[in-house]
């Protein structure tokens, strides 16, 4: 489940989504939240017992009055704790990398080349990325 950043997650219309996120985390499925979505998870106590990050130290306390997980907060762009992958607003690329890794989309060397290319934009990394992909099949 991907929860994109927004400042509207705590509106009543989203309660069912946050409840589903809780159910998924309880069974070990993957839930990915970035920016404002982390605040909604914090409001519902879903971050109190898991390592996570968000928009910087103090953000979750500022926006979530019931947040109790300060001791497990990691001041990093993106953090993975089992099936939970969180990121602050500036950690989107690393968040995407961690999601791709969790889903097993790429082989490890392809993932690293992908990350190098998108984090630097340098053409040599694009060509290195292409070299890691399997050769196409002739029809």
Which residue among 3, 32, 33, 35 is the active-site one?
35
74, 53 contact by CB (below 8 A): yes
Which residues are paired to 34 by β-bridges?
87
Length in residues, the chain: 139
Which whole-number Å values give the CA distances from 119 to 10, 63, 92, 116, 123, in the listed order? 32, 30, 11, 5, 11
Question: Could you tell me how many helices (H) and strands (E) the chain has, helices first?
Answer: 6, 4
Give how far the C-alpha of residue 95 lies from the chain's centroid of Cα atoms, to the nearest Å: 4
Write the DSSP string, 63-85: H-TT---GGGB--SSEEEETTEE
- Known catalytic residue at 35: yes
- As annotated, the active-site residues are 35
């Amino acid at each position: 489940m991907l929860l994109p950043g927004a400042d509207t997650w705590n509106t009543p219309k989203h309660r069912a989504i946050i409840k589903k996120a809780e159910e998924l985390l309880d069974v070990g499925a993957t839930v990915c939240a970035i920016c404002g979505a982390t605040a909604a998870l914090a409001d519902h106590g879903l971050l109190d017992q898991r390592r996570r990050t968000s928009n910087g130290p103090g953000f979750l306390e500022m926006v979530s009055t019931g947040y109790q997980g300060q001791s497990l907060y990691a001041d990093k762009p993106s953090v993975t704790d089992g099936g939970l992958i969180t990121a602050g607003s500036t950690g989107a690329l690393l968040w995407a990398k961690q999601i791709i890794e969790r889903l097993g989309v790429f082989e490890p060397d392809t993932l690293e080349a992908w990350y190098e290319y998108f984090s630097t934009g340098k053409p040599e990394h694009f060509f290195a990325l292409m070299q890691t992909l399997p050769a196409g099949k002739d029809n």
